[in-house]
Amino acid sequence: MRIDVVSIFPEYLEGLRLSLIGKAIDQGLLELGVHDLRAFTVDRHRTVDDTPYGGGAGMVMKAEPWALALERILDAAAAPGSLAPRDRLGEADEAAPADEAAAADAETADAVTAAGKPVLIVPSPAGPVFDQRTAEELAHADHLVFACGRYEGIDQRVLDWAQERFECRPMSIGDYVLNGGEVASMVMIEAVTRLIPGVIGNPESLAEESHEDGLLEYPIYTKPASWRGHEVPEVLLSGNHQAIARWRRDRRLERTAEVRPDLLARLDDLDRGDREALD
């Protein structure tokens, strides 16, 4: 998967290169391109915003720099190898060494285009709320592009213009207002990329996660068994795997009923044992 992020604060996204995602990039499981929107401005003052038509508080991000940045990303995706996997466009574009360019053969280019349009994710308070289902869906995409707005957002015509070139997805990460799209993009990139095989060490840990099957996760413990007068539940020390599985399921049901009854309402496959745990 290739991910491109456009922002006026590209350094915000450098955190993505740490830890697991950074390792996945080094292993070639992921490509991450972070692009400074100001590199695509066309005036001496590198202007990215202006006052809103119709009046109102704040500023709106101008359309042209966004179109130039997104076109550059599309062109690069159609001719891979022209962007080093860990590139940052805008400054001196790091032309890939000849051998890499040679490696980016027509077949790869076809794979990118044949796989359909890149997904353009535009974080916004006014989008559908991102959840684990959305993460699982996006984990199958070949190319994700994140447009990180600031100020009061991006001129609507960018989304209108982008429709034929991208699968456009305005996306909220929750019902609260941030100052821009960078943090929202990092949340979504982390939630999506950890689902890609090989990115996190132990795939089994993905199976029993909160929201994976609609229930929140069970409480977890590690050594010592007795800690400041707090004991690990006996069943977890018993080695009785059936009893442990039942205990964990019961805790998940209880926790979900207490913390997120809305999730429980969505569940339709509770068995008799589950219902007993909830009574």
Nearer to ligand JDK, 35 or 252 (CB): 35
Q: Could you tell me if 261 and 253 are in contact, meaning their C-beta atoms sit under 8 angstroms apart?
A: no
Q: How many CB atoms lie within 10 A of CB 223?
A: 7
Please state the closest distance from residue 258 (CB atom) to ligand JDK, in A: 25
In terms of Cα–Cα distance, which of 87, 84, 45 is closest to 62?
A: 45
Please state the closest distance from residue 33 (CB atom) to ligand JDK, in A: 20
**Binder to ligand JDK among 150, 169, 248, 252 (CB under 6 A)?**
150
Note whether 10 binds ligand JDK by CB under 6 A: no
Nearer to ligand JDK, 85 or 170 (CB): 170
Q: Scanning residues 104 to 123, which ones bind ligand JDK (CB under 6 A)?
A: 123
Span from 19-27, 71-79, 148-156, 257-265 in contact with ligand JDK (CB under 6 A)? 148-156
Q: How many CB atoms lie within 10 A of CB 142?
A: 16
Span from 94-102, 144-152, 191-199, 230-238 in contact with ligand JDK (CB under 6 A)? 144-152
How long a stretch of residues is the chain?
A: 279
Nearer to ligand JDK, 184 or 253 (CB): 184
In terms of Cα–Cα distance, which of 173, 142, 145, 123 is closest to 35?
A: 145
Nearer to ligand JDK, 81 or 153 (CB): 153
Please state the closest distance from residue 180 (CB atom) to ligand JDK, in A: 5
Q: How many chain residues bind ligand JDK (CB under 6 A)?
A: 18
Cα–Cα distance for residue pair 18/144, rounded to 1 Å: 19
**Binder to ligand JDK among 149, 158, 215, 277 (CB under 6 A)?**
149
* Tokens read off for 279: 């009574």
Q: Scanning residues 46 to 65, which ones bind ligand JDK (CB under 6 A)?
A: 56
Note whether 172 binds ligand JDK by CB under 6 A: yes
Q: Could you tell me if 71 and 42 are in contact, meaning their C-beta atoms sit under 8 angstroms apart?
A: no
Q: Could you tell me if 196 and 29 are in contact, meaning their C-beta atoms sit under 8 angstroms apart?
A: yes
Question: Beta strand 167-171 with 143-147: parallel, antiparallel or unpaired?
Answer: unpaired
Cα–Cα distance for residue pair 182/184, rounded to 1 Å: 5
Q: Scanning residues 173 to 202, which ones bind ligand JDK (CB under 6 A)?
A: 173-174, 176-181, 184
Let me know how many helices (H) and strands (E) the chain has, helices first.
11, 9
**Binder to ligand JDK among 41, 82, 124, 256 (CB under 6 A)?**
124
In terms of Cα–Cα distance, which of 67, 14, 57 is closest to 37?
A: 67
Note whether 213 binds ligand JDK by CB under 6 A: no
Q: Could you tell me if 232 and 244 are in contact, meaning their C-beta atoms sit under 8 angstroms apart?
A: no
Which residue ranges make up the site for ligand JDK (CB under 6 A)?
56, 123-125, 149-150, 152-153, 172-174, 176-181, 184
